[in-house]
Chains A and B, each alone.
Chain A
Amino acid sequence: MPWLEAHGLSAGYGGKAVLEGVSLSLAPGRVSVLLGENGSGKSTLLKALAGVLKPQAGDVRLAGRSLGSVPRREAARAIGYLPQGFEPLFPMRARDLVLLGRTPHLGAFGVPGAADRAAAEAALLEMDATALGDADIRAMSGGERQRVLLARVLAGEPSVLLLDEPTANLDPRHRFLVLDAMRRRAAGGGSVLFSTHEIDVASEGADDAVLLAGGCVLAEGPVATTLTGRLLSELFAVSARVVPGAGGKPLVSFGPPPAR
């Protein structure tokens, strides 16, 4: 059974629909990438799947149950969501921020125990952010902060990862670190859906792709069938060239839109 599914999902803001009739499913063991132009609805889709945005129509199912009927804490333990862009207003140590990822696991008194601290440290280590543990989140570079925020999601040990541009601001080495982390979660039986504008990150890191155009799914499936010159040219309105790369991963290069 897929971890997370959307059926005829419409969602948006203030009565206006950004997504219309989106259906997709995230199977265990798979890493999926969400591709689309600016404003195509990628963030809206991730929010709706995370339960932050209530569907206007259709529904989201977590392990077969309608997300609206799953108790809040149970859903929070199952789904880890990384939103885009976070401007901290208050001073906060990275280690304390990552520990917040354990919130849905804490007991009635909300005091983190040894297991919670261990999970937070493991997540910091996985994101190569252990040395940042005592630093103030406001004093960090964009890439350092991004890794700490990702560690916060990983510390919750969710089965489903919904990550909005997780590799934004990251250097190549840390980009691979994040792709490895996503791969490990999938190998452990979880599901990952992440958005990106970096096409090399998409082809390197994902098994499947969801192409989103104007709030609707243009194509969905394994990268071999979705990251094609024809579909990517249509999706981004540029000329896309795809050649098979190492390990069968498609190598994509973009050129300017074809002259008409």
Chain B
Amino acid sequence: MTPAPSGRSAWAAAVLLAALVALVGTSLLFGSVRLSPGEVWNALFGSGDAQAVTIVRELRLPRALLGALVGGALAVSGAALQALLGNPLADPYLLGVSGGAACGTLLGALLGLGARGAWGSSFALPLAGFLGALVAVLVVGAGASVGGRLDRGRLLLSGVVVNAFASAILLFLLSFGDAAHTQSFVFWMLGSLAGATPGAVKALAVYAALGLALLLPLARAFDALALGEETAATLGVPVETVKRIAYLAASLLAAAAVATTGIIGFVGLLVPHAVRRLAPGHRALLVLSFLGGAALLVAADALSRSLFAPAEISVGAVTALLGAPAFLLLLRARP
């Protein structure tokens, strides 16, 4: 398997973008209320009946867009962490983000933040999860700093340990919660796009744009980092600065995604792997990862809603069910 020359990555981006648009369009047709393509079209662009407009614009479109943004954010986060750690098996959840977000969310729920009618019920819980993730990220970063340097090996170890510690805190907190807390928390853990709101879409769009704006200028530095930190330094790359920005941007993307939709696995690991062979460098890799992650999660969410309709299965379960075998196939396809 040889990485493609740069012309092919432009084609791949165009194909993925077309697939993403088609998937978002198709996903608007799925749901408990049966709507024809014409009704969906009218609800989107014209003046359909009020119920269809509400369903499409307030429920289905935000859900599809949130899926695209979360999938894209997770995949870009994975690609950046793989470049940062020099490890093709790095995953956005490796560095404590998932554990921290889970602790923050559960703690928030126990404090009553997510309760119906409570102040800011729609965004207080994601905010608690986001803060939990950031605390974990900072602890992991502090644990991996040696004499002002962010040490790649220690970053991995420190992330694993912080995640394990977060699990312990979770178990501890869960023993204080009642059954209702536990159930809603487990549902959050599984990952779902069901709670998508236009507000969540806007918030995640800001984080995704911010993450990409921080990471894309580092693409060339990521390419050089693949030659090793020392070689990158002798090529004039400010290695420590690049690593710090990459670490924060990747964590920010993953934290925003996890806090909004729970833990959706395998997107951040699988997608960069799958598109790597189409990307001659990290600029293309980041863009293709975003498009691929977005398309994958929109498709997985459509599956999660339609496989056992009207019952809905967790989208996190779908990505893991599809992701694990797909990843093994990709590994076997490597030389």
Residues of A within 8 A of B (CB): 47, 50-52, 72-73, 75-77, 79-81, 83, 86, 88-93, 96-97, 100-101, 103-104, 106, 110, 134-136, 138-139, 152, 156
Contact = CB atoms under 8 A, between A and B. Distances in A.
Contact of B235 (A86, A88, A89, A103): A103
Contacts of A88: 226
30 contacts: A47-B230, A50-B230, A52-B230, A52-B234, A72-B238, A76-B236, A81-B230, A81-B231, A83-B228, A83-B231, A86-B228, A89-B86, A89-B87, A89-B88, A91-B1, A91-B276, A91-B277, A93-B2, A93-B5, A93-B280, A96-B280, A100-B223, A100-B235, A103-B220, A103-B224, A103-B237, A104-B236, A110-B217, A110-B220, A136-B335
Given A91-B276, A106-B220, A79 B234 contact: yes
Interface of B: 1-3, 5, 82, 86-88, 217, 219-220, 223-224, 226-228, 230-231, 233-238, 276-277, 280-281, 335
Contacts of B224: 100, 103
A73 B220 CA distance: 14
Given A110-B219, A136-B2, 9 more contacts: A50-B234, A51-B234, A52-B234, A75-B236, A76-B235, A96-B280, A96-B281, A100-B224, A156-B235
A27 B219 CA distance: 37
Contacts of A97: 227
A58 to B, nearest CB: 20
B219 to A, nearest CB: 7
A110 B226 CA distance: 16
Contacts, number: 80
B199 to A, nearest CB: 35
Contacts of B230: 47, 50, 52, 81, 83
A232 to B, nearest CB: 30
A52 B235 contact: no
A81 B230 CA distance: 9
A103 B226 contact: no
Contacts of A89: 86-88, 226
A101 B3 contact: no
A209 B169 CA distance: 61
B227 A100 contact: yes
A152 B223 CA distance: 13
A83 B234 CA distance: 10
Task: Give the interface centre of A50, A51, A88, A103 by most chain B CB atoms within 10 Å.
Answer: A103
A91 B2 CA distance: 7
B236 A72 contact: yes
B234 A90 contact: no
Nearest to A156: B235
Contacts of A134: 2, 5
Contacts of A92: 3, 226
Contacts of A47: 230
Given A91-B277, A93-B3, A136-B3, A101 B234 contact: no
A197 B86 CA distance: 30
Q: Which 4 A-B pairs have the closest CB atoms?
A: A76-B236, A110-B220, A104-B236, A103-B235
Q: Which of B3, B224, B335 has the most CB of A within 10 A?
A: B3
Contacts of B234: 50-52, 76, 79-81
A81 B224 CA distance: 13
A139 B3 CA distance: 12
Contacts of B219: 110
B19 to A, nearest CB: 23
B30 to A, nearest CB: 36
Contacts of A72: 236, 238
Contacts of A83: 228, 230-231
A104 B226 CA distance: 16
Contact of B227 (A73, A77, A86): A86
Contacts of A50: 230, 234
Given A76-B235, A77-B236, A90 B276 contact: yes
B226 to A, nearest CB: 5
Contacts of B235: 76, 100-101, 103-104, 156
Nearest to B237: A103
Nearest to B87: A89
A101 B3 CA distance: 19
A88 B225 CA distance: 11
Contacts of B82: 90
B288 to A, nearest CB: 14
